[in-house]
Amino acid sequence: MKQYMLSVHDTQGAAPPPPEVMQQMFDDVDKVNQQLQDAGAWVFGGGLTEASDATVVRVEGGRVLTTDGPFVETKEQLGGFWIIKVRDLDEALAWAEKATAACRAPVEVRPFQDEPES
């Protein structure tokens, strides 16, 4: 079985949905999470706080530097993610279809690199 990450993208500056729509989104995501768990595809998942809460850590010239905010300046930021374990890309895309409907946001599907055989 292959592991995939389904990542949800938020658009910075977009107006948040009304509270009742946001609650329905949370409920819909909970349903997808339960379906993933029931299917045995769930590995891990979670939502993230705003990109402005990020701290970036890097090494420059042998010194460790930390800076506030996201690493890149972009309109789209990672808003949450799932790690799933499924047979193939087609199955991952089927879960992404459910995830994007629940989140009402774009969902990127990306496979993990294969582990080297020991």
pTM attached to this predicted model: 0.83
Query: What is the pLDDT at residue 86?
Result: 97
Q: What is the token pair recorded at 103?
A: 């989140």
Query: What is the pLDDT at residue 71?
Result: 67
Query: What is the pLDDT at residue 51?
Result: 81
* Ranges of the chain whose pLDDT falls below 70: 71-72, 118
- Domains (range + CATH), the chain: 2-111 (3.30.70.1060)
Q: What's the per-residue H, E or C state across 53-72?
A: HCEEEEEECCEEEEEECCCC
